[in-house]
Amino acid sequence: MDNNQSVPSTITPPKPKRPKLVWVITIFYFLSAGYILLAVILIYGGFITLSDVQQAYIESETNFD
């Protein structure tokens, strides 16, 4: 018996596909992040007027909140 049989190097295993729920969750998080970023830009850019209470709340937030 010949135990020195070589396997062709052109055979590659198929790439695993991600489940559709992973893509749904990913898209949801990117859309949410975009919406939050847009809201922050509009608030700090002065395009959205805030009441005094809302302004005080926004100013009390830190980077970790």
Query: Cα(46)–Cα(60) distance, rounded to whole angstroms?
Result: 17
Average pLDDT over residues 48-64: 91
* 31 part of a folded domain: yes
pLDDT for 41: 94
Enclosing domain of residue 49: 20-60
pLDDT for 54: 93
* 39 part of a folded domain: yes
Q: Residue 39 contacts by C-beta under 8 Å, 6 or more apart in sequence?
A: 48
pLDDT for 6: 63
* 12 part of a folded domain: no
Q: How many domains does the chain have?
A: 1
Q: Which residue has the higher pLDDT, 33 or 59?
A: 33
Query: Cα(24)–Cα(30) distance, rounded to whole angstroms?
Result: 10
Task: Determine if the pTM surpasses 0.75.
Answer: no
Question: pLDDT by residue (tens digit) across 9-55?
Answer: 677 888 888 899 999 999 999 999 999 999 989 998 989 999 999 99
